[in-house]
């Protein structure tokens, strides 16, 4: 014979002070757990939302990122005239040779400086990235020491407003526009002319080449041709696949979330255990009465475990609501591949909240098990004589 669920709910309400303390403690654990996971999810989404499936990104063989790649001007000229490369309405090859460099800029809040990624593009670079749009000012003009910055970077760094300046080596770049990367990795970049970037930073080579093949068949042929040509020593893959792999920054955060979640969950388990032991001590006579009425030890164990799970479940729901306050919040962190500022948004998704609630219920069940076993083992006569 099982006890009705309303019996557990009544006990939670009657002991509202201790119940509230447990709920709030577990809510804090769950909120931190979800927010850290949401941070990692946001970083992954930033990379996963970048690129065009029609494009091919070409870097040096052996390099894991554009920032560590070198592509010669001869390689660029070779690729420029390959028959697989698409041409626009002006009969120009849709290909861009690009340079990745970094500059240091002061934070707008005065908390110090951070590295910012500068991407130098040749004229077709913007055409290859339709997801990026100009939202203020105008695009840069080659040869005029001009740059366009992401709108999100402009909110974080001083001097990044239209009319401001960026110090790039011995040169000062004028900010002539702001762009929106549509939640992609381009929201963490500033753009300027590629050859101007090579000149400023004394680079003889490019970092990567972005190509738009004529069609899917041409894309497959181009990738194969680049990979098999031993003179080029280059690696080619779809742009979206390249960026999908650039999630190294999210991995340490996931590890921290797991370790911190484990450490905090131990504290939450002890808090739940303390609450349930106190509940057992105050309900000794009640437990004895239940046994006299015919309820088995197994039923008593189930009663206390369900009660602990309910408490923790309420705490998990509160933690989910608290974590929603961070959903969509824009922040920045260090990219462990480029060592530049990466801008992202926290993403608190339904699956993360479900995971948080499941996590909280597991805490409640684990914290209730030992007190429940103690309650079930109480001698009936001694329990009935308890004050």
Instruction: Check residue 259 and give its pLDDT.
Output: 72
pLDDT at 146 over 90: yes
- For residues 219 and 338, which has the higher predicted lDDT (pLDDT)? 219
Q: What is the pLDDT of residues 307-332, one digit of tens each?
A: 778 888 888 899 999 999 988 887 77
More confident residue, 85 or 248: 85
Contact at 8 Å (CB) between 166 and 105? yes
| pLDDT of 54 higher than 70 | yes
User: What pLDDT is stored for residue 38 in this prediction?
Assistant: 85
The pLDDT assigned to 279 comes to 65
Residue 58, helix vs strand vs coil: strand
Judge whether residue 385 has pLDDT over 60: no
Per-residue pLDDT at 59: 93
**What b/e readout covers 55-94, taking b as 16+ CB neighbours within 10 angstroms?**
bbbbbbeebebbbebebbeebbebbeebebbbeeeeeebb
pLDDT value of position 191: 95
Domain locations in the chain?
5-47+248-385, 62-232
The model's pLDDT over 164-173, given as tens digits with 9 standing for 90+, comes to 998 888 889 9
Query: Is residue 150 scored above 80 in pLDDT?
Result: yes
Contacts of 350 (CB under 8 A, 6+ apart): none
Question: Which pLDDT value is given to residue 193?
Answer: 94
Query: pLDDT, tens digit, for every residue of 259-309?
Result: 766 777 677 677 666 766 666 666 666 667 766 667 677 787 777 788 778
């Amino acid at each position: 014979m099982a006890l009705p669920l309303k019996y557990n709910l009544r006990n939670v309400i009657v002991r509202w002070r201790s119940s509230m303390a447990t709920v709030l403690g577990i809510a804090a654990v769950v909120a931190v757990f979800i927010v850290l996971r949401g941070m990692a999810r946001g970083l992954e989404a930033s990379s996963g939302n970048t690129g065009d499936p029609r494009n091919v990104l070409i870097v040096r063989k052996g390099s894991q990122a554009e920032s560590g790649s070198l592509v010669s001007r001869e390689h660029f000229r070779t690729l420029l005239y390959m028959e697989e490369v698409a041409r626009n309405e002006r009969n120009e090859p849709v290909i861009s040779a690009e340079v990745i460099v970094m500059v240091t800029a002061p934070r707008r809040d005065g908390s110090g400086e951070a590295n910012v990624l500068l991407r130098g593009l040749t004229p077709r670079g913007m055409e290859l990235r339709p997801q990026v749009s100009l939202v203020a000012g105008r695009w840069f003009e080659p040869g005029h020491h001009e740059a366009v910055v992401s709108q999100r970077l402009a909110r974080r760094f001083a001097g990044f407003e239209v009319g401001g300046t960026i110090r790039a080596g011995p040169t000062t770049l004028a900010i002539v526009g702001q762009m929106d990367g549509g939640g992609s990795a381009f929201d963490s970049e500033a753009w300027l002319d590629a050859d101007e970037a090579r000149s400023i930073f004394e680079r003889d080579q490019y970092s990567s080449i972005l190509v738009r093949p004529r069609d899917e068949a041409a894309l497959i042929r181009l990738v194969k041709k680049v990979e098999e040509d031993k003179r080029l020593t280059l690696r080619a893959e779809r742009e979206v696949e390249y960026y999908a792999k650039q999630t190294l920054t999210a991995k340490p955060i996931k590890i921290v979330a797991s370790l911190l979640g484990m450490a905090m969950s131990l504290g939450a388990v002890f808090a739940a255990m303390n609450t349930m032991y106190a509940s057992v001590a105050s309900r000794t006579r009640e437990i004895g009465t239940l046994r006299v009425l015919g309820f088995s030890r197994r039923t008593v164990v189930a009663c206390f475990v369900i009660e602990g799970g309910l408490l923790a479940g309420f705490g998990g729901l509160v933690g989910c609501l608290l974590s929603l306050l961070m959903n969509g919040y824009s922040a920045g962190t260090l990219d462990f591949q480029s060592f530049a500022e990466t801008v992202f948004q926290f993403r608190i998704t339904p699956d993360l909240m479900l995971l948080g609630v499941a996590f909280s219920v597991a805490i409640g069940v684990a914290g209730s098990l030992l007190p429940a076993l103690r309650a079930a083992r109480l001698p009936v006569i001694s329990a009935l004589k308890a004050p």
